[in-house]
Chains A and B, each alone.
Chain A
Amino acid sequence: MIWSGLLIYWANDVYKVGWGDTTLFHFFPDSFYGALHFNGRLSEGMAWHFLFMWLFAINGVSYVLYTIFSGEWRYLVPDRNTLREAIQVVLHDLHLSNTPLPRQKFNGAQKIAYSSIIVMGLGSLLTGIAIWKSVQFGWLTAMLGGYAAARVEHFLLTLGYVGFFVIHIAQVIRAGWNNFRAMVTGFEVVDDCDFS
């Protein structure tokens, strides 16, 4: 989805971080497109994007429905203790605190992160629809601040995923191989001697 989105974004790569005439960072440097062979592939990017969007939507809706009906949402949706727990987790992970963390399936930071991702996914879907069908869903496009604003929001959400991905991967590496295997398979292999 992000790959095909970048093929599209290349055709009008106007976003940058900066102010006035000062640019801190331009999305993206020419070398970035060159290295990834992203130049001149707008129509191909759109074609992939318009195929993937259905998978993205169906996958997202299925996941949310499963989470609701299986009761798994209870482990994911933040409650009134979540923020306090999340701060503990962050302090712990940054080695600023030695307080042991409460044992639970997902800690406060995870609850906030994983729930945010679902909301962001919904945001990508809605901003995407607002861009794709800006007349038939004109009310949605207007609600999001207009066509150009919806494009910016769609882009910012994507930056959010990249940020999530980087932190997530760093955390998984930190947690070790056994944890990663458990994430994928759903069970954990524990050596006998660990019980002693």
Chain B
Amino acid sequence: MGGIAAAAGFGTWMWIRDSFHRGGIPSPLRRAEEADDVFSHALFSGTRLARTFDAADIGDARANGDIGLGDDPEPDWKLIVDGANPVSLDQIKALPKVEEITQFKCIEGWNFIMKWGGARFSDFAAAHASGLTEKPWVGLETPDGEYYVGLDRASAMHPQTLLAYEMNGQPLTNDHGAPLRLLIPVKYGIKNLKRIGKISFTDVRPRDYWAENGYDYDSGF
């Protein structure tokens, strides 16, 4: 009995390991992660908030990825909204300003606590993307298109999801995604795209840089 069970386990492991890869991992594992994502979406509630902290808890920000940050931002940067008018930084700043101290969690396992300032994504969407906000997916990409993420609508519209232009009370630096970045504390750092160039509201699930490279698409907490 034990021998049969061990052989079956080993056989299953071999089968999974040697399956063709989809999105950088064996397809059975990809299917398992997609099943987990269905579970995650069912579990998700926009009223559950990520923990917030005191000013004394703020630590040093770690600037990790620089994909999509190859060039300095254009002086006449505008946020391109697929299907609507471009939006200037001043227009974003004209929206109600929100400051929050949250924990930025990298998928690698480290984290830091930081204060961010910006406009709620939901306020931005209501003001500058009317008629598009019921679409189930949101895609964001850097101006050069090198880095891109996809978000489910509920996570994008979460009250703590910001289009951030300040870190620790100062304008964003280039390595943290100036002039405007996504700050989404309900997801791993890989979803917190720096230097947003374009936002699309879509019916189909947008492409996602790290989901194409082996990671879970949802990557949400």
Contacts and interface: CB of A to CB of B under 8 A. Distances in A.
A169 interface: no
Given A43-B24, A43-B215, A136 B29 contact: no
A44 B103 contact: no
A46 B216 contact: yes
Contacts of B108: 11-12, 42
Interface in B201-221: 210, 213-216, 220-221
A36 to B, nearest CB: 15
Nearest to A142: B51
Nearest to B221: A135
Contacts of A11: 107-109
B162 to A, nearest CB: 15
Interface stretch (A47-55, A56-64, A88-96): A47-55
B214 A43 contact: yes
Nearest to B28: A51
A121 interface: no
A136 B186 CA distance: 9
A9 B111 CA distance: 14
B51 A44 contact: no
A14 B1 CA distance: 41
Contacts of B106: 12
Given A44-B214, A47-B33, A51-B32, A138 B111 contact: no
A50 B109 contact: no
B82 interface: no
B32 A50 contact: yes
B72 interface: no
Interface residues of B, number: 36
Contacts of B24: 43
A48 B29 contact: yes
A38 interface: no
A133 B25 contact: no
B2 interface: yes
B73 to A, nearest CB: 30
Given A43-B215, A48-B29, A50-B36, A141 B45 contact: no
Interface of A: 8-9, 11-12, 14, 42-44, 46-48, 50-51, 132-136, 138, 141-142, 146-148, 151, 184-185
Interface of B: 1-2, 24-26, 28-30, 32-33, 36, 40, 43-45, 48-51, 103, 105-111, 185-186, 210, 213-216, 220-221
Given A135-B48, A138-B48, 18 more contacts: A42-B108, A46-B215, A47-B25, A47-B214, A47-B216, A48-B29, A132-B221, A134-B105, A134-B221, A135-B50, A135-B51, A135-B186, A135-B221, A136-B48, A138-B49, A147-B111, A148-B111, A185-B2
14 contacts: A9-B109, A43-B210, A47-B25, A47-B30, A47-B33, A47-B216, A51-B32, A134-B105, A135-B220, A136-B43, A136-B44, A138-B48, A147-B105, A185-B2
